[in-house]
Amino acid sequence: MSSSFGKLFVVTTWGESHGPAVGVVVDGMPPGLPFDAALLQRDLDRRRPGQSAITTQRSEADQAEVLSGVFDGQTTGTPICVLVRNQDAKSKDYDALKEVFRPGHADFTYAAKYGVRDHRGSGRASGRETLGRVAAGAIAKMLLGRHGVTIFAGTVAVADVVAERRDWDVAETNPVRCPDAAAAARMIEVIEAARADKDSVGGVVEVVARGCPPGWGDPTMEKLDGEIARALMSIPALKGIEIGTGFAATRLHGSQSNDSMGPDGFRTNHAGGILGGISTGQDVVARVAVKPASSIGKAQETVNAQGEAVTIAVEGRHDPCICPRVVPVAEAMLAIALANACLRQQALAGH
Amino acid sequence: MSSSFGKLFVVTTWGESHGPAVGVVVDGMPPGLPFDAALLQRDLDRRRPGQSAITTQRSEADQAEVLSGVFDGQTTGTPICVLVRNQDAKSKDYDALKEVFRPGHADFTYAAKYGVRDHRGSGRASGRETLGRVAAGAIAKMLLGRHGVTIFAGTVAVADVVAERRDWDVAETNPVRCPDAAAAARMIEVIEAARADKDSVGGVVEVVARGCPPGWGDPTMEKLDGEIARALMSIPALKGIEIGTGFAATRLHGSQSNDSMGPDGFRTNHAGGILGGISTGQDVVARVAVKPASSIGKAQETVNAQGEAVTIAVEGRHDPCICPRVVPVAEAMLAIALANACLRQQALAGH
Amino acid sequence: MSSSFGKLFVVTTWGESHGPAVGVVVDGMPPGLPFDAALLQRDLDRRRPGQSAITTQRSEADQAEVLSGVFDGQTTGTPICVLVRNQDAKSKDYDALKEVFRPGHADFTYAAKYGVRDHRGSGRASGRETLGRVAAGAIAKMLLGRHGVTIFAGTVAVADVVAERRDWDVAETNPVRCPDAAAAARMIEVIEAARADKDSVGGVVEVVARGCPPGWGDPTMEKLDGEIARALMSIPALKGIEIGTGFAATRLHGSQSNDSMGPDGFRTNHAGGILGGISTGQDVVARVAVKPASSIGKAQETVNAQGEAVTIAVEGRHDPCICPRVVPVAEAMLAIALANACLRQQALAGH
Amino acid sequence: MSSSFGKLFVVTTWGESHGPAVGVVVDGMPPGLPFDAALLQRDLDRRRPGQSAITTQRSEADQAEVLSGVFDGQTTGTPICVLVRNQDAKSKDYDALKEVFRPGHADFTYAAKYGVRDHRGSGRASGRETLGRVAAGAIAKMLLGRHGVTIFAGTVAVADVVAERRDWDVAETNPVRCPDAAAAARMIEVIEAARADKDSVGGVVEVVARGCPPGWGDPTMEKLDGEIARALMSIPALKGIEIGTGFAATRLHGSQSNDSMGPDGFRTNHAGGILGGISTGQDVVARVAVKPASSIGKAQETVNAQGEAVTIAVEGRHDPCICPRVVPVAEAMLAIALANACLRQQALAGH
């Protein structure tokens, strides 16, 4: 129940950080579409640890194996299972943490919920679970591409450093994946400073879908913004999401925030491409709040499973800022939410 | 498909603003619980139009009729249908708008999606649809009350006026439903000024669940925060949601935003009561961004269904700020999301 | 959870036999289709009690009120709520049965499951719940009609009397709804004899969908036959279902039961219009086993809620054979299952 | 969408007959249960090809690899992925059939639905897909075992040979898995005769769950019998299902088919352990109609993808009667349906 997203394009991830493998099953991909294996691997590489100096140095090739649902280079309409073996799991590093609840992590809540847990490398709560999401997102992009939809994403804030520009072609040219080259340089400084201090920083990731036709999304309980919110908020470490002008819209007047229309269409996009839960045809724009990474080398006070006070420093190979690695995951989850809305609208049309 | 929320506590609303009636079916309420009809009616009254000088003057008694699922004052475990007849629908007011896409409304997107639409009073996209949500939320509160969970909500910002206090018992004593009496007075001034200017203002609503045990919520794809985000973002006019410290957490260091623990439990609650998608036992805290009401008397430029430029002023009985009426709806949607998490956790436990 | 059927054409019934009303919400009906209110009422009339001498004499007008989802005679794509008030409920008749578990009824199991139950007129377990199904089925037929699909059904066996013919236009001309006029006369004799003996008889109902294009139905876990089986087996009093040649196929050889093909298509239809869970384009044919009605005037041994032995005779207004009233319900459930398959296939096509 | 079964114990199979692997993801298994890997392998071995002289001679070790969801020999509550590599796929055997629609197979309907298909070894429509079901069923049995539920199954008819006895401990001692040793010998003769004639035969499989407490199953739309019907009818080659006395009950009177009760409980079990869609506490009994295997060596008339008449003989390694291999699959699907009902009832109880 907990591991699936979507009704028509159903994504089910499975796997633990230090188990034999992680992966995903995508059920509902339409048949007869070219399967772009290179896109799949490229997105996995963008999520992969060890890509740059500012990410974790865990070394995983993350080579995807497609086990089903593709034949002669085409999708067949049957479920697509993608598997990646775990290779560089250093479970020994976690022995000391077996009985300790790391602050900011899901250790305490998993113990409370399940009683038993695979503590190695955060088990199921590891960011490694997002690998399956990224694979599924790449498949969703193959579907969306057929409908003319393109997805962009990047880090638009790190701590107090805010990007002013949205040069999406710049985003992939710097390690922080910021669409503003000048801001990127300052963001990296902030991240390096946090790491030097055995600490971490947060930020904001923006994700945009361009080319969605008007009419996607179901009103009331399955609004497009609601589904996107759910999709993005299911990514680890996110504490907020906004659409279009978002929280800043609460400080405008209606005469400002209403997007007026002319014969050429909408004149502004405060709505972020969604009205009444349905796409308007403009860019769908979402931003998510990424909390500072929970794993830090600084000493922290916490308790162990027996409720006794302990002090820990989470050593190991961690990300001082996970924004650059959230970028491909946010793209994936937006693509998955839109793929569902796309199929849903197909079901309604043409009667 | 679009009108249901939840898997185990399934809420399905139906009805249009100017149709014969609006209502809801709640399927999955456990049997044998006392049915608190007074709570149901009280929550409907809190959502009702015409409660105060700062809300719309449409006059609806909104008397609930419970048609099924309750016998001898107890729930029976069968679906509960609640119906409210529409009474003061003035459809004539909308004749002039039949062919015009009001800015900020879902007129354009409904037309794009469905081809046909009931334009009277916004039809299905009307805030009146939330009546069914509030009825269902009251039923969810009956279940949650059995588990010791209480829900509070209030308006914590209107335009630039921000509440400093969270005196929840104060919230229901002022028309803006603000838990800070001093801020409430200033909020009302801002709302009155907007109305005098034929304009509208937005704000922020906070909703809190106290008493959730640790362990509710499913990790990965059905995280408690993801489900809450989806539930709240399905409310009309919302443009953002944050949990706990939310977007402000992006400007902290990990050593600050990680909630440290001691033998007495968590020492702070930046996480907003959720870690790894699972409740921690602390207050679950969410805030939503409410955009300025779309219906304003000011002249606005838009187009009609033929794509021709027109200027409109949306006359009628509107809310200059919908925050006070969002409050009971936000409570309801949080309650519904938590009722699902509660039942889901029951299913897992005890084997 | 228990009261909904379908993912894309979602049917949710609600209501108890002696509560204020029964009804249904249909969510997912595409927009822009003419709403055939006469068809809806005609199907309700076919299910209505008191239609003929061989059915129960409870008197219900069963006039449908459509509360939402229809505007200017067209569907709008929003949920359609249909309500029927209960009128001739004689709850006093059931006072004596409050504490007794009637054999063949769900009294014992409801008590075991829920602890509390509305015992009046079987409450939720009453055949009256099927009214909502029939209303939803009529709406499904409006959708299917657009796709060229027509549905036929009739009683093809009562006790040992088996219909030899399938003259579907004859079925509605006799009270047992048998498509074989000669058999119908004998069936009525058998039913009258059972009633005279304060007993009841069972039978077999066949339901056929003509005009389904090839390609409907999802293989593996949502096979068209699986969905039809689930839809039909959710009708009260059914104990079996078969597709095409069904159980008789177990006594054939493969060389007989395989439907050979020629350039003009399939030459036989042992498969009942479904191969691998997907429609073949031939008639979809299903038959269901209807057990003898549980309510009989004959003395029966049972126990009360305290586990004490009691003897009861279920007096009142009962059907000695429910086959004729199962006919419209079976049509409805087949139509609902097919409407889902139709929308599902729309979602897949056209990429 | 098509490849998942269940809401709380969600089983998703994936894989094609001649692809790299087949497998399953089981999501919703409660945590803290001992994982019985031997039971899993034993059930896979019972489904495996080449077990006896009367089954296909394809040689597959079918060694299961558990990739997630189990830690230190216990379930963790996270999704369990089970993978089996395909080894003895002889795709060349199918080259001649690439463009031909084999009678009784899903070739035509897959082509009609998807346009493209993996024709090798029937692709996704192969009986090999059921491997994932059996793995999931073994996991469901681990859950049911905790609740005291045991499952039995066997072949109770082959063509005209009908088993009179239900000696469940005998079923696994003969290759046809018949719980009546004398009947088994005759069944084998019938099967061998069909094979010698390059033909195939069908039969009936019975599956029983003993120990279900009263109260499992949701009435109306998710009746236990409806869910079981859907679960079993999703198995390839099934054309019918009946519960308890089933179709034979249509020839009884109500005074016979109603199961009377005494202080010691029910006196008969015509109902097959289910009343009103809810378990009674008696044995849950279902029987399914298995059609003769579609692959036969006899010449058959059909068409190719161009619609031209062709004659084919399906050579290769086929089962002349698939009943013995349906047995473990039917057990699995019943177990999966019951696991869902079990978890669902847990969710309702205890408020």
Q: pLDDT tens digit string along A165-221?
A: 999 999 999 999 999 999 999 999 999 999 999 999 999 999 999 999 999 999 999
At residue C59, does pLDDT exceed 80? no
For B:290-309, CB contacts with A below 8 A are 290-296, 298, 300-303, 307-309
Mutate to test the interface with B, among D25, D27, D351 (most CBs of B within 10 A): D351
Q: Which residues between 50 and 79 in chain B have a beta carbon less than 8 angstroms from any beta carbon of chain C? A: 65, 67-69, 71-72, 74-79
- pLDDT of A1 higher than 60: no
Q: Where are the beta strands (DSSP E) in chain A?
A: 4-5, 10-15, 21-27, 65-66, 70-71, 74-75, 80-85, 150-158, 161-162, 203-210, 238-243, 261-262, 265-266, 274-275, 278-279, 284-290, 300-303, 309-312
| CA C107-C113-C116 angle, 5° bins | 70
> CA nearest C27 in B: which residue?
B1
- Match 């390694």 to its residue by tokens: D317
Q: Does B343 touch chain A (CB under 8 A)?
A: no
Whether the ipTM is more than 0.90: the answer is yes
3-state helix, strand, coil in chain B (%, to 5): 35, 25, 45
pLDDT at C1 over 60: no
In terms of Cβ atoms closer than 10 Å to its own Cβ (0-12, 13-18, 19+), residue B351 is middle
CB contact under 8 A, C347 and A351: no
Side chain identity at residue B241, one-letter code = I
Tell me: pLDDT of A47 over 80. Answer: yes
Distance from CA of D25 to the nearest CA of B (A): 15
Residue with tokens 């009256």: C128
Torsion of CA A206, A6, B332, C16, to 10 degrees: 170
Q: Decide if A15 contacts A128 (C-beta within 8 A).
A: yes
Q: What is the mean pLDDT of residues A46-55?
A: 83
What is the dihedral angle through the alpha carbons of A22, A27, A29, A32, rounded to the nearest 10 degrees? 100
User: Can you give the pLDDT at residue B1?
Assistant: 54
Say if residues B276 and A236 touch (Cβ distance below 8 Å): yes
Instruction: Determine whether the interchain pair A343/C343 forms a contact, defined as Cβ–Cβ distance below 8 Å.
Output: no
d(CA C140, CA C39): 11
Residue of chain A nearest B5, judged by CA positions: A221
pLDDT, tens digit, 9 for 90 and up, residues C229-239 = 999 999 999 99
Burial class (CB in 10 A: 0-12, 13-18, 19+), B122: buried
pLDDT digit string, tens, across residues A234-260: 999 999 999 999 999 999 999 999 999
Token representation of residue D181: 């040793």
Per the prediction, chain C carries an average pLDDT of: 94
Q: How far apart are CA D324 and CA D175, in angstroms?
A: 7
Strand partners, C261: C266
- Best of B2, B252, B314 to mutate (most A CBs within 10 Å, chain A): B2
How do residues B241-255 score in pLDDT, each as one tens digit? 999 999 999 999 999
- CB A31 within 8 Å of CB D114: yes
Smallest CA–CA distance, residue D351 to chain B, in Å, is 7
C-alpha torsion angle, residues D206, D212, D214, D216 (rounded to 10): -80
Query: Do residues D49 and D55 lie in contact, with contact meaning Cβ atoms separated by under 8 Å?
Result: yes
Beta carbons of B234 and B228 less than 8 angstroms apart: no
How confident is the model over C229-252, as a mean pLDDT? 98
List the single best residue of C81, C82, C336 to mutate versus B (max B Cβ within 10 A). Answer: C81
Residue C98 phi, psi (nearest 5):
-55, -40
Query: What are the residue ranges spanned by the domains of chain D?
Result: 4-348
Please tell me the CATH code under which domain A4-348 is placed. Answer: 3.60.150.10
Residue among D219, D233, D345 whose CB faces C124 most closely? D219
Chains interfacing with D (3 or more CB pairs < 8 Å):
A, B, C
Alpha-carbon gap: C141 to the closest alpha carbon of chain A (Å): 13
* Cα angle for residues B70, B72, B75 (degrees, 5° grid): 35
pLDDT of residue C122: 87
Q: Does B316 lie at the interface with A, CB-CB under 8 angstroms?
A: no
Asked if the model's pLDDT at residue B15 lies above 60, the reply is yes
Chains A, D: CB contacts under 8 A, how many?
159
Distance CA C66, CA C142 (A): 15
Contact B30 D344 (CB under 8 A): no
Query: Which one of A10, A12, A102, A109 would you mutate to disrupt binding with B, by most B Cβ within 10 Å of its Cβ?
Result: A109
A10–chain B Cβ distance below 8 A for any pair: no
At A119, list the tokens: 């503590």
Query: Is C220 at the interface with chain D, CB within 8 A?
Result: yes
Q: Which of D11, D179, A138, A114 is nearest to B278 (CA)?
A: A114
pLDDT at D96: 76
B273, with CB counted inside 10 A (0-12, 13-18, 19+), is buried
Q: Which residue of C has its CA nearest to B70?
A: C118
* CB contact set of D80 (below 8 Å; sequence gap of 6+): A14, D25, D26, D27, D29, D66, D68, D69, D70, D139
Q: How far apart are CA C216 and CA D112, in angstroms?
A: 9
User: Lowest-pLDDT range, C203-212, C218-227, C311-320?
Assistant: C311-320
Question: The tokens of A29 are what?
Answer: 């991909």
Residue type, A309: A
Give the CA distances from residue D258 to residues C296, C298, C301, D268, in Å, rounded to whole numbers and listed in that order. 10, 11, 10, 8
> Of the candidates D79, D115, D123, which has its C-beta nearest A3's C-beta?
D79
pLDDT number for residue D1: 54
Interface of D with B in 135-174 (CB under 8 A): 143, 146-147
- Return the half-sphere exposure (C-beta side, CA atoms, 13 A cut-off) of residue D86: 24
Judged by phi (left if over 0) then psi (alpha if -120 to 50, else beta), residue B212 lies in beta
The conformation of residue C208, written as its DSSP 8-state character, comes to E
Q: A33 with C351: CB under 8 angstroms?
A: yes
B221, A231 in Cβ contact below 8 A?
no
Q: Which of C13, C79, C118 is opposite residue B3, by nearest beta carbon?
A: C79
Among candidates A8, A31, A146 on the partner chain, residue whose Cβ is nearest the Cβ of C347: A8
Q: Which two structure tokens, joined as six digits, stand for B287?
A: 């805030």
Positions of chain D with pLDDT lower than 70, given as ranges: 1, 89
| Burial category of D326 from C-beta neighbours within 10 Å (exposed 0-12, middle 13-18, buried 19 and up) | buried
pTM (two decimals): 0.97
Q: Is the model's pLDDT at B181 over the cut of 70?
A: yes
Mean pLDDT of C327-336: 98
Chain D environment of B7 (Cβ under 8 Å): 7
Size of interface A-C (CB pairs under 8 A): 44
Of the partner residues C238, C254, C280, the one whose CB lies closest to the CB of residue D199: C254
C343 close contact with A: CB closer than 8 A: yes
- Please state, for a pLDDT cut of 90, what percent of chain B lies above it: 86
How near does any CA of chain B get to the CA of D31, in Å? Answer: 8
CB C252 within 8 A of CB D202: yes
Of residues C183 and D350, the one with the higher pLDDT is C183
Of D12, D32, D65, Cβ closest to residue A27: D12
Contact D316/C at CB under 8 A: no
A211 touches C: beta carbon within 8 Å: no
Q: Test C275 with D223 for CB contact under 8 angstroms.
A: no
Mean pLDDT calculated for residue range C95-110: 90
Q: What angle do CA D31, D35, D39 make, to 5 degrees?
A: 140
A192 CB within 8 Å of a chain B CB: no
The H or E element containing residue A184 is: helix A181-196
- Predicted confidence at residue B13, as pLDDT, reads 98
User: Which of D126, D106, D86 lies closest to D319 in space, CA to CA?
Assistant: D126
Q: List the single residue in B with minimal CA-CA distance to A202.
A: B250
Question: Which pLDDT tens digit goes with each residue over B72-122?
Answer: 999 999 999 999 999 877 777 777 778 899 999 999 999 999 998 888 888
Say which residue, C149 or D92, is predicted with more confidence. Answer: C149
Residues composing chain A: 351
